[in-house]
Chain A
């Protein structure tokens, strides 16, 4: 097993764990945590592929840093939305917060 395959396998495992958590958890904060795990797996993948199999490793690092920024913005907005939802409905359970469901 090459080093590249080991890194890619780690990234796929992290992504799979995040996907499972996103589907299985009911608390919105836990789902956000799972989403962050998936984003981290994507960042690892970008950096690994540009480092091992690309011509420009610097571009991959820039891309990963942009990903971190987007993830931070998403977390800030998501958490503030959860606080607002909790204030309006007294719960952040996704099976209870279904007011917009058709």
Chain B
């Protein structure tokens, strides 16, 4: 087994364990911590693919920003000591069955497709990604910038506490 295979195996195991914790645990705070673990695992998977810039971006954005934002949202909205109502067993089983059938269908489609394979993975450097973003994909780059700006302003506007007109802010 080569290095990439070993890194992929370890990272995939971490990511799947984290994902199971992120959907399976009862405490929402534990969910968020498991989600951060899963995203670290996904970053490791990208590392094993040779896309190190993407791995760093995943670790920074998901573990550093998204998980922290979720913790803030939990502090602002979801009381952790709220009483848990029991969930009906049929709904859980139905969700599990639907997810299993969906994943199986995707797997069958993916597995039966005949992918072109012009050789093994090729490493893409961060410099190449930067050049691509500013030449071929400059429209996508600008669009994502505007989208992020609009989302940030929209988030501030939506979450702002609405005060009665004339009141002192």
Establish whether residues A34 and B54, one from each chain, have CB atoms under 8 Å apart when the complex forms: no
Q: Which residues of chain B are near A18, meaning CB under 8 Å?
A: 19, 23
Q: Which residues of chain A are near B118, meaning CB under 8 Å?
A: 53, 55
- Chain B 99-137 interface mask (CB, 8 Å, partner A; 1/0): 110110011001100011110111010001100110011
Establish whether residues B147 and A65, one from each chain, have CB atoms under 8 Å apart when the complex forms: no
Task: Tell which of B107, B116, B155, B159 touches A9, judged by Cβ atoms closer than 8 Å.
Answer: B107
Establish whether residues A21 and B148, one from each chain, have CB atoms under 8 Å apart when the complex forms: no
Q: From DSSP, what is the main secondary structure of chain B's interface residues?
A: helix
Query: What is the interface residue range for chain A against chain B?
Result: 35 or more
Q: Which residues of chain B are near A53, meaning CB under 8 Å?
A: 115-118
- Chain A 66-102 interface mask (CB, 8 Å, partner B; 1/0): 1011111111110111111111000010000000000
In residues 29-45 of chain A, which contact B (Cβ within 8 Å)?
29-30, 32-34, 36-37, 40, 43-44
Q: With A23-B98, A75-B69, A79-B73 known to touch, is A49 a contact of B22 (CB < 8 Å)?
A: no
Q: How far is the CA of A83 from the CA of B128 in the complex (A)?
A: 40
Q: How far is the CA of A83 from the CA of B57 in the complex (A)?
A: 27
Establish whether residues A69 and B147, one from each chain, have CB atoms under 8 Å apart when the complex forms: yes
Q: With A12-B110, A62-B137 known to touch, is A84 a contact of B19 (CB < 8 Å)?
A: no
Q: With A4-B117, A58-B129 known to touch, is A16 a contact of B99 (CB < 8 Å)?
A: yes
Binding site for B on A (CB under 8 A): 3-10, 12-21, 23-27, 29-30, 32-34, 36-37, 40, 43-44, 47-49, 51-55, 57-59, 61-62, 64-66, 68-77, 79-87, 92
Given contacts A3-B5, A43-B42, A57-B51, 6 further A-B contacts (CB under 8 A): A16-B99, A17-B23, A20-B95, A30-B23, A66-B140, A86-B76
Pairs A–B under 8 Å by Cβ, sample size 28: A6-B8, A7-B8, A10-B8, A10-B12, A14-B42, A18-B23, A20-B96, A20-B98, A20-B100, A23-B98, A24-B95, A27-B78, A29-B77, A29-B78, A37-B35, A51-B50, A58-B128, A61-B132, A64-B51, A65-B133, A66-B140, A70-B144, A73-B147, A76-B155, A79-B159, A83-B159, A85-B77, A86-B78
